[in-house]
Structure 1
Amino acid sequence: MIDASTEAPADRPRLRTAAPWLVLALSVAAMAVFLRVTAGEYYLGDLRVFVSASHWLAEGSLYRATSPTGAGDVRIPFLYPPWVAAVFTPWSWLPFPITAVLWTVLGLAALGTSVLLTLSLVTGQRHLRDRTLLRSAAWWSAGLLWITPVRHCLYEGQVSLLLFVAVVAGVWCARPAAAVAIGLATATKFAPGAALVTLAVHRRPRAVLWGLAGFAIPLAVGWAAYPAQSRQYLADGAILDAVDRVGGVATVANQSLRAAMSRFAGADVGWQALWLLAAVFLTVCAGAVLYRRRGDRAVALWVPTVLAAALIPLGWTHQWVWLIPMLVWLRRGPDRRSGWARTLSLLWFAGLLSPAVELLLLIQKSNYVYDRPLWQALAGAAYVLGAITTLLAVAVHSRSERGTRVGKGQTE
């Protein structure tokens, strides 16, 4: 006869060990159902552009052709350098449903890996196989899977999660050569290049050089292999007129500082003095945080990348995956017990988990209309206003040379 009173306590540790993985599995399964239901024909509009770009590259029409989004008459152009289109050539050989599933799985793996590395940076726990750290990463991944930037990245089939994990890995790894990953991400989209500031802040000049090499080499190879289209991208202005080519900058899906200010002004503020003053203010706030928290590697990761997401003209929601290290730092960093950090983290999670952006997208009359009611303009500026508030709060509550000093047993 089995004594239940003696068996129950033994089962509890097993349950605690299995719980995060069970929750993560359920969260992934629920996301798969969500994407299948909401994304007709495995929508993934941006992934369709990437796959089509390999054909456009061969035809010589890379920066002239467009792909339909599935929403009205809106069509999406290719905005990346030619080498990125070449990389997607093997993906074009597969039936699109298989490509969609594989790409989504790759994005999920990138999210989990980046969360694990971010927790390692924030807590100071370098042993990635530590069970406590792994369980914590599972809990975080299950929740972060549902924040708006990640949802939109998976729905659109964007590369943001892959660029994100490349940057986090390049910062986390002690070997300078690992910064090549940051360079490759920057050669895809320029915004990840802000992470080179992280390496510079922590006096890693060799890593900065490796990052610059990772940036230059693919562009040089692409220029050698596709000189005409590389020239069109770099020299003839295809990269500079991205805003005009995409259009719809006014849409609430664009959470950049420029878009937020334009919706208040009722017209595109462009690069005018008002935007410049706001950009300088935001940059000064970021610089103050980097200086006052210069001993904290996690802060040096999220501050430059969040700043870049705010300052680029097309700061789509999926590009704000750079908020993830900031969220982890607020909850697990040195100020995790402070009232201001707890309040900010709760506000961020409430906003990012809510369908606010999706609702605003349904309400807005057009992607091309800047003039909005005040409440819509305020709601559409939430990311930028939140970033400014967070930077100011961290700067005010910082002490110079205050770094992350968390013991190995404090990862949960």
Structure 2
Amino acid sequence: MSRLALSRPALGVLAGWASLSVVLALTTVGPTANWGLLDGGGDLDVYRRGAWHVLSGLPLYDFPVDKKLFYTYTPFSALVFAPLELLPAEPDRHIWLALNLAVLIAVVVQSWRLLGYRVDRALVGVSVLMALGCVFVEPVRTTLFFGQINLILMLLILSDTVGATRSRLAGIGTGLAAGIKLTPLYFVLYFLTLRQRRVAVTAVAVFAATVVVGLILLPRDSLTYWAGTFLRSERIGDRLGHPSNQSLRGMLARLLDDEPPVWLWLALAVLIGVASLTLAVWLHRTGERLLSVTVVGLSSAVVSPFSWTHHWVWVVPLMVWFVHRALTCWRWWLAPAALFVALGAWPFWFRNLADPRIGFYLFPYTHVPEVLLRNAYLWLFAVLLIWLGVRAARSVAGAKAAGEEPVRAEE
């Protein structure tokens, strides 16, 4: 493993980026607008109320648990969230915010590890700067603001990816993540396509164990959830076509101005899933382990039935990969800068908008076509996928011309 060494200009860029990000996140939307970074915790309240329901013997899914918000995670997750009830009612959001910031730094550290860097004080310091630089990027900012669990789930999956070839515990994190929220099951397909069967089997076994635990401790809620409640995406969002739903299904709903046919959404989702996993395998075989799992993480948000923008936290490892490339070619700095601008939370530009948690996808579309703005995350993902597809095609063609043997994925 190599040591991460940054030049003074590169450190200056990261320090400036981190400072700008923190200042913007704390000042552009103040607490008076009820959207300041330190004035949130809505989803944390839902987690706590869900835990309170199961501890009090109340049904978890029959009615909203907090205001008009339904509990949408698994019964097992409510058991995991039970310790949150020990937190004091007012400081809980700040404690949870601090925990999420620590997890964000750990995500960046694990991303560097997947790139082959050794963990030392210099790497941790750079990771702190990068984590702060991502605070203003909307998926991260809204995860921190709402008190979401996305960063924790991503860290569990990344840790499995880091240890996939050397740790017998690899797969436990993904299984636990899936036991809390079903979307991480998508990564089981990723491990299978890489022929990392042991990791995939461990993840499935741990997930199954979480289901069993839920059935034993919360039998009524478990039967309600697994009998069909988990399929009801309207419990997550009241309008499928809302621009904040940056999933393929949401995009189709906006384009068709109606709920898309299930067959159309599934057909396109399968195509995108196959293309993403194929590219992920190629990236892994060519040594791009971080970019490989990042593509899968981003595609999981695309094919999911409902993906709020804060589900797109996989842009953080993508940022790390771009910075890694920028260390050898300064032009790569343009990529994280473009992501910072495109996915930044810029509500202060239009203070009269009804929903101030926005990135570009909710801007007035006077000069830019609505179809581009309202689906910004999907188009960015499409650009990434096409670019990687072209790279893969050229690489395969070059290898065939040179008569080289294809590299096999690690077992």
TM tier, smaller: 0.7 to 0.9
My pick for the range that moved more, 345-354 or 313-322, is 345-354
Whether 1:87 and 2:80 are equivalent positions in the alignment is: yes
Amino acid paired to 1:387: F
* Contact 1:309 1:315 survives alignment (8 Å): yes
- Seen in structure 2, the aligned counterparts of structure 1 residues 94 and 291 have a Cα distance that, compared at 3 Å, is closer
The equivalent of 1:160 in structure 2 is 150
Amino acid paired to 2:171: A
Deviation at 1:264, TM superposition (A): 1.6
Amino acid paired to 1:298: L
The equivalent of 2:361 in structure 1 is none
Measured against aligned partners, the alpha-carbon deviations of 1:20-78 in whole angstroms (never above 9, x if no partner) come to: 78986896687567675544894311111111112222333210231456xxxxx1100
CA RMSD of aligned residues (A): 3.5
The equivalent of 2:53 in structure 1 is 56
Measure the CA separation in 2 of the matches of 1:259 and 1:27: 29
Whether 1:66 and 2:64 are equivalent positions in the alignment is: yes
* Contact 2:233 2:305 survives alignment (8 Å): no
Measure the CA separation in 2 of the matches of 1:20 and 1:155: 23
The counterpart of 1:379, out of the listed 364, 373, 376, is: 373
Deviation at 1:280, TM superposition (A): 3.6
Measure the CA separation in 2 of the matches of 1:18 and 1:331: 13
Amino acid paired to 2:94: V
Measured against aligned partners, the alpha-carbon deviations of 1:300-341 in whole angstroms (never above 9, x if no partner) come to: 2112211110011110111100222223223424997497x6
The counterpart of 1:145, out of the listed 135, 138, 149, is: 135
Measure the CA separation in 2 of the matches of 1:88 and 1:119: 29
Deviation at 1:188, TM superposition (A): 1.2
Q: How does 1:5-404 map to 2 (within 5 A)?
A: 31=25, 36=31, 38-39=34-35, 42-57=39-54, 58-68=56-66, 75-122=68-115, 124-125=116-117, 127-129=118-120, 131-173=121-163, 174-235=166-227, 237-244=228-235, 246-273=237-264, 275-295=265-285, 296-333=288-325, 337=329, 344-355=335-346, 362=353, 375-398=369-392, 399-400=395-396
- Seen in structure 2, the aligned counterparts of structure 1 residues 250 and 357 have a Cα distance that, compared at 3 Å, is farther
Measured against aligned partners, the alpha-carbon deviations of 1:332-355 in whole angstroms (never above 9, x if no partner) come to: 24997497x666544322211242
Q: Percent identity?
A: 24
Measure the CA separation in 2 of the matches of 1:192 and 1:256: 16
* Contact 2:236 2:306 survives alignment (8 Å): no
Measure the CA separation in 2 of the matches of 1:310 and 1:192: 13
The equivalent of 1:7 in structure 2 is none
Number of aligned residues = 373
Measure the CA separation in 1 of the matches of 2:194 and 2:306: 29
TM-score normalised over the length of structure 1: 0.79
SS of residue in 1 equivalent to 2:69:
strand
Amino acid paired to 2:69: I
The equivalent of 2:403 in structure 1 is none
- Seen in structure 2, the aligned counterparts of structure 1 residues 115 and 36 have a Cα distance that, compared at 3 Å, is farther
Amino acid paired to 1:165: L
Amino acid paired to 1:259: G
Measure the CA separation in 2 of the matches of 1:193 and 1:358: 38
Deviation at 1:102, TM superposition (A): 1.2
Measure the CA separation in 1 of the matches of 2:327 and 2:274: 22
Measured against aligned partners, the alpha-carbon deviations of 1:93-112 in whole angstroms (never above 9, x if no partner) come to: 43322211111111111100
Measured against aligned partners, the alpha-carbon deviations of 1:106-132 in whole angstroms (never above 9, x if no partner) come to: 11111000011102212x11x212x33
Deviation at 1:18, TM superposition (A): 11
Amino acid paired to 1:397: R
Instruction: Please list every run of 5 or more consecutive structure 1 residues that lacks an aligned counterpart in the other structure.
Output: 1-12, 70-74, 365-371, 404-412
Amino acid paired to 2:381: A
Deviation at 1:169, TM superposition (A): 1.2
* Contact 1:253 1:361 survives alignment (8 Å): no
Measure the CA separation in 2 of the matches of 1:232 and 1:307: 29
TM-score normalised over the length of structure 2: 0.79
Deviation at 1:177, TM superposition (A): 0.8
Amino acid paired to 1:242: S
Measure the CA separation in 1 of the matches of 2:132 and 2:226: 40
Deviation at 1:152, TM superposition (A): 0.6
- Seen in structure 2, the aligned counterparts of structure 1 residues 272 and 357 have a Cα distance that, compared at 3 Å, is farther
* Contact 1:252 1:360 survives alignment (8 Å): no
Measure the CA separation in 2 of the matches of 1:31 and 1:180: 34
Amino acid paired to 1:393: W
- Seen in structure 2, the aligned counterparts of structure 1 residues 288 and 155 have a Cα distance that, compared at 3 Å, is same
Instruction: Please list every run of 5 or more consecutive structure 2 residues that lacks an aligned counterpart in the other structure.
Output: 1-6, 356-363, 397-405
* Contact 1:51 1:92 survives alignment (8 Å): yes
Deviation at 1:195, TM superposition (A): 2.6
Amino acid paired to 2:57: E
Amino acid paired to 1:330: F
Amino acid paired to 2:380: G
Measure the CA separation in 1 of the matches of 2:136 and 2:23: 12
